[in-house]
Structure 1
Amino acid sequence: MKTSIGITPKNLLEVSKVLNVLLADEHILYIKTRKAHWNIEGKDFLTMHNFFEDQYKQIETIIDELAERIRTIGHYAVGSLTEFLELTHLSEKSNSKTDSATFMKILLEDHESIIIHIREQLDKVGEDLKDEGTNDFLTGLLKAHEKMAWMLRAHL
């Protein structure tokens, strides 16, 4: 059934494109955070192992909420690794070091990149595309990433 929520079909399509890019970014960040959780070594192993687990669980929730928001506005969420890699603006930067500082710096860069990207989308989604519901949703994502970035930054 067609979505009729007071936003033009063209605008809903554009909003879904914005959200699918974020969905791709979140998946890349999720995998990189899981990698840190799995591969962390050092004197702070247990603390950081648990810290990264907490962060990937938060990202997992964000992923589900993003996909559901895309469906709420009448479009489909991307769901393949190929699509994620095509849409993301993050890199799969690999690192050979397995210490907490290295992992945290890489993840912090990604959170900050997502924060900047979300900020760049707020006026477009709210003002240009007239979707205040998604704009509010994006503001919540922004705050979640700011907090996760703060937690990473506080450890460095």
Structure 2
Amino acid sequence: MSSRGYNLKVDEKKMKRMISNRESARRSRMKKEQHMKDLNDQIFYFTKKKDEMVLKIEGIAKDNAVMEMENMVLRSQKEELEKRLEYANHVCGWYEGDGHVSMAVMDIVQEPWLRPWEQKQPSNSIMPVMSSSAGFSIF
């Protein structure tokens, strides 16, 4: 074989290798480009999901605050109703018992409508005075 034939084979191999390398580099660039596109799509997707979650958390936090306020109101109402029930039980015990109501029982009553004998009258109003006890009976 002549040196010229050998050089042609070497040149042919070099050309094939160059073409193969260029094709490999092109595939690598395309793969890298696709990978970057996928990463950007993921960034967009997760950013959108994060924003949705933030909005959802804010909504839940507002709902929670409303529930907390309602819970406070209901607890306050519960305490008031428990006091009223306790007072009613004492009154029932008094009515069914000996008729003696201790001052300790009266001290637990906080509502003015349950203690009419202690209600303050406006200073400029004049209260009528009943002169007789006719029509009234005492148990």
| TM-score, normalised via structure 1 length | 0.25
Q: For CA contacts below 8 A with separation 6 or more, give which structure has more relative contact order.
A: 1
Structure number with greater Rg is: 2
